[in-house]
């Protein structure tokens, strides 16, 4: 087994390599003067089980191209098997046609990864579960809920904790966490008029006096989450903390979180935190290095990955 990484999340790659007790593979990923990407593998990979760790986060297109070109380089170097480890799968929010004459970009990206030469995919908390079916190769979708539940148990009095889904679409994820915590579940009903904007309408469930845990897969601009937190506090909650797997946090999201009614935002390092995120008082980062590392180890040993979440 050999682990390589692109430029998107070097800190996570180093941590995963440390967990696996192996050295990160030697590869050069650089750009020509016109920003064309060039990849060179600096060690022998013939007959090896190769894992390529790369989040397709901002700049999404650059990191996606790095991943595709690295996969192609390994395929042409006669690697026995190539697994694309994608902690954050970009374009996942484009998983269906929301209107006439629009693309399903998640399927296109799945095709690109497959055609580049990947033999299997390992990813984390896909925005929509059906994206697994977009790939014509084996795809394992990991879940951050075990990591999140351990942190909640360490930080909160579970007898007064309530899990809240920020929208109806996230109920399955919220229910999974509530089951692990043996906690009650509430749902925020919202109406979205335009992409990136939302209007909170109602809270289904009694949150009065509760320490509420909002859980979701992605936070981008932060508007939906901050609106949900404000509404929950207005309904009498004691506190609101958000646990989000992928901290995209674009634009003024960090500033918005800092001035919101959230007690804390906890994200994973599936996307490498920016300096603004690291310096934010209300944002904390949980590492998923052990989760990703153990999934890679089990894949290499042909062991069960799904048993990680039993």
Quick one: pLDDT band at residue 31, thresholds 50, 70, 90?
Answer: very high
Active site residues: 190
Instruction: Determine the 3-state secondary structure of 244 from DSSP.
Output: strand
Same domain, 246 and 137: no
The conformational region for residue 12 under phi > 0 = left, psi -120 to 50 = alpha, else beta, is alpha
Same-domain pairing of 8 and 26: yes
CATH of the domain at 214: 3.40.50.2020
Among 116, 142, 168, the domain-final residue is 142
Q: Please say if the pLDDT value at position 198 is more than 80.
A: no
**Average pLDDT of every residue of the chain:** 94
Over the stretch 47-101, which tens digit does the pLDDT of each residue have? 999 999 999 999 999 999 999 999 999 999 999 999 999 999 999 999 999 999 9
Within a domain: 152: yes
pTM of the model: 0.93
Distance CA 165, CA 16 (A): 30
Based on the fold, state whether residues 70 and 203 are members of the same structural domain. no
Checking if the pLDDT of 250 tops 70, the result is yes
Question: Using one digit for the tens of pLDDT, what is the confidence trace for 153-165?
Answer: 999 999 999 999 9
- Predicted confidence at residue 199, as pLDDT, reads 65
Q: Which residues contact 246 (CB under 8 A, 6 or more apart)?
A: 88, 124, 125, 217, 218, 219, 267, 268, 270, 271
Work out the average pLDDT over 213-217: 96
Is 110 within a domain? yes
Q: Which residue has the higher pLDDT, 309 or 178?
A: 178
Q: How many domains, in total, are found in the chain?
A: 2
Residue 193, pLDDT above cutoff 70: no
The residue-averaged pLDDT of 267-290 equals 97
pLDDT of the residue at 224: 85
φ/ψ of 213, rounded to 5, equals: -115, 105
Do 195 and 138 sit in the same domain of this protein?
A: no
Cross-strand pairs, 218? 246
Residue 303 lies in a domain: no
Question: Chain-centre distance of CA 308, in angstroms?
Answer: 17
The answer to whether residues 124 and 165 belong to one domain is no
Confirm whether 79 is domain-assigned.
yes
Residue 158 within any structural domain of the chain: yes
Same domain, 136 and 170: no
Q: Are residues 135 and 155 in the same domain?
A: no
Q: Considering only CA atoms, which of 49, 47, 50, 4 is closest in space to residue 29?
A: 4
Strands (E), 193-233: 199-204, 211-219
Q: Is 153 within a domain?
A: yes
Annotated binding-site residue numbers for Mg(2+): 127, 167
Annotated binding site for ATP: 34-36, 93-94
List C-alpha distances in Å: 39 to 3, 69, 249: 15, 7, 29
Side by side, which strands form the sheet with 211-219?
199-204, 184-191, 161-165, 211-219, 239-247, 264-268, 283-286
3-state helix, strand, coil in the chain (%, to 5): 35, 25, 40
293 lies in some domain: no
Q: Is residue 298 part of a domain?
A: no
Asked if residue 206 and residue 218 are part of one domain, the reply reads yes
- In the prediction, which pLDDT does 310 show? 75
Which pLDDT does position 189 carry in this prediction? 87
Q: What is the pLDDT of residue 195?
A: 59
What domain range includes position 108?
A: 2-142
Residues annotated in the binding site, as ranges? Answer: 34-36, 93-94, 127, 167, 192, 216, 220-224
d(CA 146, CA 271): 18
């Amino acid at each position: 087994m050999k682990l390589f990484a692109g430029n998107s999340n070097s800190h996570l790659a180093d941590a995963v390599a440390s967990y696996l007790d192996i050295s990160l593979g030697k590869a050069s990923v650089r750009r020509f003067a016109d920003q064309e990407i060039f990849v060179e593998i600096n060690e022998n990979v013939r007959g090896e089980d190769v894992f390529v760790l790369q989040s397709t986060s901002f700049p999404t297109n650059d990191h996606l191209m790095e991943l595709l070109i690295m996969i192609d380089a390994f395929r042409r170097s006669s690697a026995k098997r190539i697994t694309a480890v994608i902690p954050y799968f970009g374009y996942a929010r484009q998983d269906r046609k929301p209107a006439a004459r629009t693309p399903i970009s998640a399927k296109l990206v799945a095709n690109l990864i497959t055609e580049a030469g990947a033999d299997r995919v390992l990813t984390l908390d896909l925005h929509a579960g059906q994206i697994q079916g977009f790939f014509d190769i084996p795809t394992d979708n990991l879940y951050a809920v075990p990591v999140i539940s351990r942190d909640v148990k360490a930080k909160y009095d579970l007898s007064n904790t309530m899990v809240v889904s920020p929208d109806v679409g996230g109920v399955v994820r919220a229910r999974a966490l509530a089951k692990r915590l043996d906690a009650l579940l509430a749902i925020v009903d919202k109406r979205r008029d335009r992409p990136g904007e939302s209007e909170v309408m109602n809270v289904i469930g009694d949150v009065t006096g509760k320490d509420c845990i909002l859980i979701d897969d992605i936070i981008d601009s932060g508007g939906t989450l901050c609106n949900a937190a404000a509404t929950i506090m207005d309904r009498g909650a004691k506190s609101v903390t958000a646990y989000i797997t992928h901290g995209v946090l674009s634009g003024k999201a960090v500033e918005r979180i800092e001035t919101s009614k959230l007690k804390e935002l906890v994200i994973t390092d599936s996307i490498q935190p920016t300096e603004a995120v690291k310096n934010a008082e209300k944002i904390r980062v949980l590492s998923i290095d052990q989760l990703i590392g153990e999934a890679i180890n089990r894949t290499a040993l042909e062991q069960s990955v799904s048993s990680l979440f039993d």
